[in-house]
Structure 1
Amino acid sequence: MDPPPYESVLEDHGTNRYFATVSAVRKEFEIEVTEPVKHGEGVAAYVSYKVRTKTTHGAYAAPFHEVVRRFRDFAWLHDKLVEKNKGCIVPPLPEKSAVQKYTMATDFIDQRRRALQVFVNRVASHPVLKDSAELATFLQANEEAWMLEIAKWQAETNAQHRPVTAAAAWFKSLQHSAQSLVSGRADEIQEDAEYIKIRDYVNSLEAHLNEAHRQAARLQRKEADFGTALSEFAAAAEALGKQDNEGPMRAAFGCLFSRAGEVAALSRGRSEAMAADFAAPLKEYARTIKSVQAAMADRAAALTAYSQAKSDLDNKKVRLAKLRGTPGLKEDKIAETEREVNEADQRLRNAKLGYETIRETMREELNRFQKERAVEMSGLLRDFALAQARHSAEQAKAWGELLRDIQSTAPVNA
């Protein structure tokens, strides 16, 4: 089944031409993030949103829920899903911006609202994440239960000391690599060649998507600048025409002011539409690459753990063999080492299972990701071309009407 088009994960006010497609595809959830309300001022300011959910999912207590959430709460959902679903491509959140957060401009608030709505609908349409307890908690927990959940999460986050943990993991990985070099053994466990090709493709895709978004944003700004310049030119033309009291030039410049104003309004509207319907999806696709890379990092970490566990078991087996060959050694020393070998063997089994689980998860995830993005990107480009053609036709119509207006007001030669 094809995924819903990008616009379908935004709001629908009864005029969305994708409405029938959305209804057919998104059977279990319809989620709207709406009614942003700003609280506070300056760096302490934040925006709350109403999150309205209609669902037929059996895990939900009622078919309709409405809760109030802020960006921090969406971050809770994202981080919990990443933590609990290793190897899954968790939809990305919009980036944080300290400068924009401080100003809290209306357009920034609405852009974030739309991006958060895309995020939560992506989660709700994911074949695995849609069934998560975290999503159910986010969409239906009352204020008291939710505040307790957030407090617990913040306490856990503060207690984890993630930078220290990351440094320790890096040092352990470095130590493992050094041991392999000293012993003359390279890691026997390697990634599939096909997966490496996909990984390299994803890494190169990020730069191309970022550049495509940058140019789309530039195109959108150019359209807005053209609308502003044309509007200012129209005002200047009207002022010029007023110098000809009741003459034919006054009428002609008046027509120019009117029609140029129409075209300027079309350009401003097109710029706003390009920002929402073309630049924003490209930006989200670029952010999604970060999510794919995060899943790949989970896989790499699992492979490293598997390789380290295998190396550790091999070293303990060698040590046990040496102890068994040492005459006069106490049996309890050998027994202790045997226990260590058995424990290392169990760790290897667990690490192997963890890696194989993530590898299988990622196989399905990457297939889904490639299919969905191909369909969505094709639809995005098609809609962009149609919108541009429609915009050009509307502009041509306005200029054509101006031509007829000028011809009708032109003085007749005696």
Structure 2
Amino acid sequence: DTSLTEVNSFSPSVPISPSSMINQYKFEDGPELRDLFITVDDPESHITAIETFITYRVVTKTTRGEFDSSEYEVRRRYQDFLWLKSKLEEAHPTLIIPPLPEKFIMKGMVERFSDEFIETRRKALHKFLNRIADHPTLTFNDDFKIFLTAQAWELSSHKKQGPGLLSRMGQTVRAVASSVRGTVKNRPEMFTEMNNYMETFSQKINLLDKIAHRIYKEERDYCNEMKEYGPIHTLWSASEEAIGDSLKGLAGCIDRCCRATERRMAGLSEHLLPMLHEYILYSEILVGVLKRRDQIQGELDSKVDALANKKTEKDLFSEEIGKLEDKVERANNALKADWDRWKQNMQWDMRSTFTNVAENNLHYYEE
């Protein structure tokens, strides 16, 4: 069922307690089955004559036999994460690669290189690597292993071994040619449904993001106003002996409300807003994955058309078509499996995050 209604619907049998709701939904792969643990921490600022940048410590612990050691510690900067993402997309064009945070901050919420910006990015990079580690295919990618284990100079050397300029240009030309051809002729209905689903999902997740940011702004403005009213009532109490105690009590109440609102805002900025933004990025990634699948299908369609118009070289075309049919089948199977996995994780994230917001709201109004 590809309906979006299931994302925020609960069975009538779900217990009332928000904590109980969260406990109902678990990933298939529990922590006890994991053999690769990654932590991104310890951001460090570097200032050179040319640029200023941040590196993060990446600590990996594993029991896998293909690793030479059980623990690694390396430092990586943002452009290293970008390189890894591009290599994963190159190796697995129809798998759903987790999103990275953007290079520059969105919506002007915090300044670049501020403590808040660096911590927000650190969390996103940590999630990016752990989503790859939990993926049944991406986790065994050779470039991912090198990213986790190679020292800086080794990684730099490995990057230089990538495809040359002419190879990259050829890939770009094929992608453009495929897009010019327009809609593929023989797209399976399943992938048309995926495209329609993502169009609706993108609209809804962007709307949710706008609403969440509006709520956050209103809460922030409300909190700033309360911070002004508390001291005013304290000063007022000094000049009104008859109602001084009442004014002091009111000032204390305003102060408690302000602290409760700040905790509520922290819950929004640490959980809800990052989750919604991550799935906005996911929606863009999925649109790209579906386009790449269509490009592979388009290559096959064009060869079939060419074969129908050719009287010579039929054997050569038949061999190419056979290879393309295999390529299309592999691409389709990879996307089908990843699509189901992505939807399951997305539904878990939505349920757990919105349940967390509801629980925080309950605590807020109780306070």
Same fold by TM-score greater than 0.5: yes
| Distance (Å, rounded) in 2 between the aligned partners of 1:92 and 1:172 | 25
Question: Counterpart in 2 of 1:48?
Answer: 55
Contact 1:227-1:266 at 8 Å conserved across structures: no
Contact 1:42-1:103 at 8 Å conserved across structures: no
1:263 equivalent in alignment to 2:257: yes
Gaps of 5+ in 2: 1-21
How many residue pairs end up in the alignment?
341
Q: 1:310 aligns with which of 292, 304, 311?
A: 304
The aligned amino acid for 1:312 is A
Q: 2:188 aligns with which of 164, 172, 192?
A: 192
Question: Counterpart in 2 of 1:87?
Answer: 94
Question: Counterpart in 2 of 1:137?
Answer: 146
Contact 1:73-1:150 at 8 Å conserved across structures: no
**Aligned residues: CA RMSD:** 2.8
Cα deviations by residue, 1:217-237 (Å, 9 ceiling, x for unpaired): 221222222222111110111
The aligned amino acid for 2:188 is D
Cα deviations by residue, 1:268-305 (Å, 9 ceiling, x for unpaired): 12212211111111111121112222221121010000
Higher relative contact order by CA 8 Å / sep ≥ 6: 1 or 2?
2
| Distance (Å, rounded) in 1 between the aligned partners of 2:350 and 2:365 | 22
Contact 1:52-1:64 at 8 Å conserved across structures: yes
Cα deviations by residue, 1:298-355 (Å, 9 ceiling, x for unpaired): 21010000011111222223xx3xxxxxxxxxxxxxxxxxxx3322222111111111
Question: Counterpart in 2 of 1:357?
Answer: 330
Contact 1:241-1:251 at 8 Å conserved across structures: yes
CA pair 264-29 structure 1, distance change in 2 beyond 3 A = same
Question: Counterpart in 2 of 1:170?
Answer: 176
Percent identity of paired positions between Structure 1 and Structure 2: 21
Tell me how far 1:41 sits from its aligned partner: 7.8
Question: Counterpart in 1 of 2:12?
Answer: none
Q: 1:213 aligns with which of 209, 215, 221?
A: 209
Tell me how far 1:256 sits from its aligned partner: 2.3
1:390 equivalent in alignment to 2:355: no
Q: 1:343 aligns with which of 289, 295, 316?
A: 316
1:243 equivalent in alignment to 2:239: yes
| Distance (Å, rounded) in 2 between the aligned partners of 1:48 and 1:70 | 4
| Distance (Å, rounded) in 2 between the aligned partners of 1:172 and 1:371 | 31
Q: Which one has the largest radius of gyration?
A: 1
> Mean alpha-carbon deviation: is it higher for 89-98 or for 64-73?
89-98
Within 5 Å, give how 1:287-306 maps onto structure 2: 287-306=281-300
Question: Counterpart in 1 of 2:344?
Answer: 371
Tell me how far 1:67 sits from its aligned partner: 0.9
Contact 1:305-1:351 at 8 Å conserved across structures: yes
Please, what TM-score do these two structures have when normalized by structure 2? 0.84
Contact 2:267-2:357 at 8 Å conserved across structures: no
1:34 equivalent in alignment to 2:30: no
The aligned amino acid for 1:91 is P
Matched position secondary structure for 2:243 = helix
Please, what TM-score do these two structures have when normalized by structure 1? 0.75
| Distance (Å, rounded) in 1 between the aligned partners of 2:360 and 2:41 | 26
Of Structure 1 and Structure 2, which has the larger fraction of its residues in helix?
A: 1
The aligned amino acid for 1:34 is D
